[in-house]
């Protein structure tokens, strides 16, 4: 029988749907649905830098590197104007703030500037209110016109760029766009491009140019800034709704080396990729034609941009074209384009993405011979190193949540691990099986599912405390969790590796276990150290499959080798005696599978060796009852989950009513038929029918036996439970 938590799990999933139903919990990804395309590096893109942080750092460099950034941020951005005016006038003190302390002693000019800047922003905010009208009086020390005058009159060298920014902001609010542009052309544009104030001023200049009808110049400035949203907005104001591809084309026209192109291209490909038939949102088909059209348009644009020769990152465009060619089903063309991407100039970030795509395309296109295995070995070593070297505490925490919660199966959260799983589980393992390399497929699936967990030391365990009547949270070592008798183990009985072991055939699993125990190559040893190869775990899987395949001598040998500390590891237990049809809940051996295998093996040997037909018949019936029960109410002897399904997932219907079960039922019928035909003693025959719950037959056909008297003596309680027999 299963635990209560298992039944609760099943019930929850029935509420939210099966594997493809994601509702409020996020999509279920098949391994082939992980997003692979990656061209945009947010950490390496200066356009995504936090403007607030950049400005605070500039203030720190201008004053003192010992001043905490948070102190600067508070004074510059958070402190209200009235509060700053009190500090400026000396009526407020800020001894706790190192920035105010420094500027009050060493930077009176900075104090003057900040007063003007805060006043400017206060007035501009009031003027931008929907309730503002020109004659409204604003409670400030100066007007916005005076802000412009004071900003332009200040000639301080170290603060000149800051005063110019304030003048441009004020002039923009006044609608004096020509003067904004003049200030930019005369002074602001002369500052280095990395200057923070110059970058903050440029969007105002772009806006001013657009308002004056100079859309080309505005687009140029926006493209240089990587502000594609403003380009799209301006185009819409001009009556043109840009498609994603048109926006990419427009940004490339004005700034062919803008890193914004990497972001736009990545988003465009992700739109296509996520609607792929193999992706997480594969329930929707109404957008298929649109996505194919977008894919084709972006593919053609990528090739055109390469041919124009203006880009300094041709590797990214070759990579994009290669990925889309494969998406469209032309793997050969994709491989050729990827070879060009590998040779072309590009960022390190894109070059790493190219290596991932190379692993994927090789897996799809190359013959699975020894040369490919060595190539795959080297590729996995590189990918494994990326997984180890890039993992963060956040990724480790998500890894635990992903594996621990059945509602987040296969969620995407860590690129390198996602890519290993996508390549191995969606391409390499199926092809290995097709090539007859089932052992290698099992090794690779094990690495795909368990490598990241091998890098995690602790797992957070949530469980319900009956004493406290509440949820309790604690952290325990991962290995302790995996072998614990107190925790429901989601880790080892719900992943793709387990699915494969539980369906690939017992001989292949036995061969895999042998390769774990005695690796034959460096590749074997590499894969063994990156999977979960706990001896008892594998022995139980092998032994259970032997029970399922009626190989009881083998089952006894494998299950008997399991250490007692592992007995409670399973998420199932057996409380009904498998050798009785009637309900009996006195059977609760911790090593129930081993005890069952031991007795079934003994019964099978006895059937073969016993000459006495009556004794042999009784042995056959006991064996048949045990065999039938092991696929019925005692299903935990041969299965890990009941009902032919696993958390509602259709993958786990693979053998329910399949050949193993059909063969077992056929053998049960044959054994009982044979037993009934060879028995000679009527008392024994009556006992057999009694054990089979055929009480009516005992009372009528064997009326002259002791068992008939037992039946007549209990006629109010005993019924011929034919229906129950069918559900053993």
What one-character-per-residue DSSP string does 65-128 give?
TTS-HHHHHIIIIIS-HHHHHHHHHTSS--TT-HHHHHHHHH-HHHHHHHHHHHHHHHHHHHHT
- 423, two tokens: 């390549």
User: Per-residue pLDDT for 110 more than 60?
Assistant: yes
Pick the range with the lowest mean pLDDT from 241-250, 564-573, 582-591.
582-591
Q: Is the pLDDT of residue 136 over 70?
A: no
- Give the model's confidence band at 102: pLDDT under 50 very low, under 70 low, under 90 confident, else very high: very high
**Residue 649: its pLDDT value, please?**
42
User: Six-digit token pair at 406?
Assistant: 């059945």
Q: Specify the pLDDT at position 523.
A: 98
Q: pTM to 2 decimals? A: 0.83
- Judged by DSSP in three states, 180 sits in helix
Computed on alpha carbons and rounded to an integer, the radius of gyration of the chain in Å comes to 37
Percent of the chain with pLDDT over 90: 61
Structure tokens at 43: 């950490």
**Residue range 482-488: mean pLDDT, rounded:** 77
Closest by CA position to 556, among listed 516, 596, 590, 588? 596
294 vs 271: CA distance, rounded Å? 9
Can you give the pLDDT at residue 724?
42
pLDDT tens digits for range 515-568: 999 999 999 999 999 999 999 999 999 999 999 999 999 999 999 999 988 887
pLDDT at 684 over 80: yes
Burial letters for 136-146: b for 16+ Cβ neighbours within 10 Å, e otherwise? eeeebebebeb
Question: DSSP assignment of 362-387, as one string?
Answer: HHHHS--SHHHHHHHHHHHHHHHHHH
Q: In the predicted model, what is the mean pLDDT of residues 671-682?
A: 94
Terminal CA-to-CA distance of the chain, rounded, Å? Answer: 13
CA angle 632, 635, 641 (to 5 degrees): 125
Q: Among 380-384, 413-417, 606-610, whose mean pLDDT is lowest? A: 413-417
List Cβ neighbours of 110 (8 Å cut-off, separation of 6 or more). 62, 63, 103, 159
pLDDT of residue 294: 87
Owner of token pair 């006043």: 119
C-alpha distances (whole Å) from 526 to each of 401, 425, 521, 594 are 26, 18, 9, 32
User: 84 or 583: whose pLDDT is higher?
Assistant: 84
Q: pLDDT: is 269 or 45 the higher one?
A: 269
- What's the rounded mean pLDDT across residues 702-716? 84
From 401-415, 569-583, 609-623, 701-715, the region with the lowest mean pLDDT: 401-415
The pLDDT of residue 51 is: 80
**Tokens 């040998």 — which residue?**
557
Q: How many of the other CB atoms lie within 10 Å of CB of 575?
A: 14
Q: What is the pLDDT of residue 488?
A: 76
Q: How many CB atoms lie within 10 A of CB 4?
A: 9
Residue 238 has pLDDT above 50, yes or no: yes
CB-based contact 593:544 (threshold 8 Å): yes
Note the pLDDT of residue 407.
41
- Mean per-residue pLDDT over the chain, rounded: 84
Longest C-alpha distance within the chain, in Å?
A: 124
pLDDT in the model for residue 589 = 77
pLDDT band with cut points at 50, 70 and 90 for residue 280: very low
Lowest mean pLDDT among 84-98, 249-263, 338-352: 84-98
Report helix, strand or coil for 459.
strand
- pLDDT at position 155: 84
Task: Quote the pLDDT of residue 399.
Answer: 72
Is residue 60 scored above 50 in pLDDT? yes
- Give yes or no for a contact between 524 and 515, defined as CB atoms under 8 angstroms apart: yes
CB 519 within 8 A of CB 533: no
Cβ-proximal residues to 362 (8 Å cutoff; 6+ apart), any chain: 372, 375, 376, 379
Lowest mean pLDDT among 25-29, 450-454, 588-592: 25-29
In this model, does residue 191 exceed pLDDT 60? yes
pLDDT band at 395 (very low <50, low <70, confident <90, very high): confident
Q: What are phi and psi of 458, to 5 degrees?
A: -130, 155
Q: What is the mean pLDDT of residues 714-726?
A: 52
Confidence bin at 30 (pLDDT 50/70/90): confident
Q: Distance between CA atoms of 273 and 33, rounded to whole angstroms?
A: 8
* Model pLDDT, residue 137: 53
- Alpha-carbon 86 to chain mean position: 53
The predicted pLDDT at position 284 comes to: 42
Instruction: Compute, in degrees rounded to 10, the torsion defined by CA atoms 501, 502, 503, 508.
Output: 40
At 721, list the tokens: 């439970």
| pLDDT score for 715 | 65
pLDDT of amino acid 711: 85
**Arithmetic mean of pLDDT, 703-727:** 68
Residue 115: pLDDT over 60: yes
Q: How far apart are CA 359 and CA 365, in angstroms?
A: 10
How does pLDDT run across 139-187, given as a tens digit for each residue? 667 888 999 999 999 888 889 999 999 999 999 999 999 999 999 999 9
95-99, 298-302, 651-655, 705-709, range with greatest mean pLDDT: 298-302
Report whether 721 contacts 693 (CB < 8 A): yes
């Amino acid at each position: 029988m299963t635990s209560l938590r298992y039944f609760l799990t099943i019930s929850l999933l029935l509420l939210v749907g099966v594997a493809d139903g994601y509702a409020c919990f996020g999509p279920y990804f098949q391994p082939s649905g992980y997003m692979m395309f990656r061209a945009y590096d947010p950490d390496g893109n200066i356009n995504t830098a936090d403007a607030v942080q950049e400005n605070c750092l500039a203030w720190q460099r201008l004053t003192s590197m010992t001043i905490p950034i948070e102190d600067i941020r508070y004074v510059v951005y958070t402190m209200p104007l009235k509060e700053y005016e009190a500090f400026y006038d000396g009526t407020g003190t800020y001894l706790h703030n190192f920035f105010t302390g420094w500027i009050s002693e060493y930077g009176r000019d900075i104090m003057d500037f900040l007063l003007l800047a805060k006043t400017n922003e206060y007035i501009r905010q009031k003027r931008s209110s929907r309730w503002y009208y020109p004659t409204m009086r604003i409670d400030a020390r100066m007007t916005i016109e005076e802000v412009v005058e004071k900003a332009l009159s200040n000639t301080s060298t170290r603060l000149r760029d800051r005063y110019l920014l304030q003048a441009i902001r004020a002039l923009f609010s006044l609608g004096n766009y020509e003067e904004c542009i003049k200030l930019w052309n005369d002074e602001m544009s002369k500052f280095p491009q990395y200057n923070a104030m110059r970058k903050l001023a440029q969007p105002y200049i772009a806006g001013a140019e657009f308002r004056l009808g100079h859309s080309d110049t505005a687009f140029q400035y926006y493209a240089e800034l990587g502000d594609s949203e403003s380009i799209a907005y301006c185009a819409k104001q001009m009556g043109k709704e840009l498609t994603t591809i048109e926006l990419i084309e427009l940004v490339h026209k004005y700034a062919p080396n803008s890193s914004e192109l990497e972001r736009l291209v990545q988003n465009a490909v992700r739109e296509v990729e996520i609607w792929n038939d193999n992706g997480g949102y594969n329930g929707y088909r109404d957008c298929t034609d649109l996505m194919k059209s977008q894919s084709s348009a972006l593919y053609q644009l990528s090739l055109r941009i390469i041919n124009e020769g203006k880009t300094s990152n041709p590797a990214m465009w070759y990579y994009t074209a290669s990925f889309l060619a494969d998406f469209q089903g032309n793997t050969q063309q994709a491989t050729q384009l990827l070879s060009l991407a590998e040779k072309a100039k590009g960022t390190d970030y894109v070059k790493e993405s190219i290596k991932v795509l190379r692993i994927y395309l090789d897996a799809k296109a190359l013959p699975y011979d020894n040369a490919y295995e060595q190539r795959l070995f080297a590729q996995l070593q590189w990918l494994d190193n990326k997984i180890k070297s890039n993992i963060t505490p956040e990724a480790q925490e998500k890894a635990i949540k992903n594996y621990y919660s059945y509602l987040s199966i296969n969620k995407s959260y860590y690129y390198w691990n996602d890519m290993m799983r996508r390549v191995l589980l969606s391409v390499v393992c199926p092809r290995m099986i097709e090539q007859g390399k089932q052992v290698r497929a099992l090794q690779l699936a094990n690495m795909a599912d368990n490598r990241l967990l091998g890098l995690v030391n602790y797992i957070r365990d949530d469980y319900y405390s009956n004493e406290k009547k509440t949820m309790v949270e604690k952290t325990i070592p991962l290995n302790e969790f995996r072998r614990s008798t107190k925790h429901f183990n989601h880790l080892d009985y719900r992943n793709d590796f387990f699915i494969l072991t539980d369906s690939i055939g017992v001989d292949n699993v036995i061969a895999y276990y042998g390769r774990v125990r005695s690796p034959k190559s460096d590749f074997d040893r590499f894969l063994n150290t990156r999977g979960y190869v706990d001896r008892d775990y594998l022995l139980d899987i092998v032994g259970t499959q032997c029970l399922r395949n009626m190989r009881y001598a083998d089952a006894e040998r494998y299950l008997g080798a399991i250490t007692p500390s592992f007995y409670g590891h399973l998420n199932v237990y057996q409380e009904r005696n498998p050798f009785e049809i009637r309900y009996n809940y006195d059977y609760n051996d911790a090593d129930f599978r081993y005890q069952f295998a031991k007795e079934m093996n003994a019964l099978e040997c006895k059937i073969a060796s016993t000459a006495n037909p009556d004794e042999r018949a009784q042995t056959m019936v006991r064996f048949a009852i045990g065999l039938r029960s092991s696929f019925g109410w005692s299903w935990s002897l041969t299965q890990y989950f009941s009902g032919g399904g696993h958390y509602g997932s259709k993958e786990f219907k693979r053998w329910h009513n399949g050949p193993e079960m059909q063969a077992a039922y056929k053998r049960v019928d044959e054994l009982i038929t044979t037993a009934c035909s060879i028995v000679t003693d009527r008392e024994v025959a009556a006992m057999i029918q009694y054990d089979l719950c055929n009480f009516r037959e005992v009372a009528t056909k064997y009326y002259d036996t002791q068992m008939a008297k037992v039946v007549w003596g209990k006629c109010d309680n005993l019924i011929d439970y034919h229906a129950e027999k069918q559900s053993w």
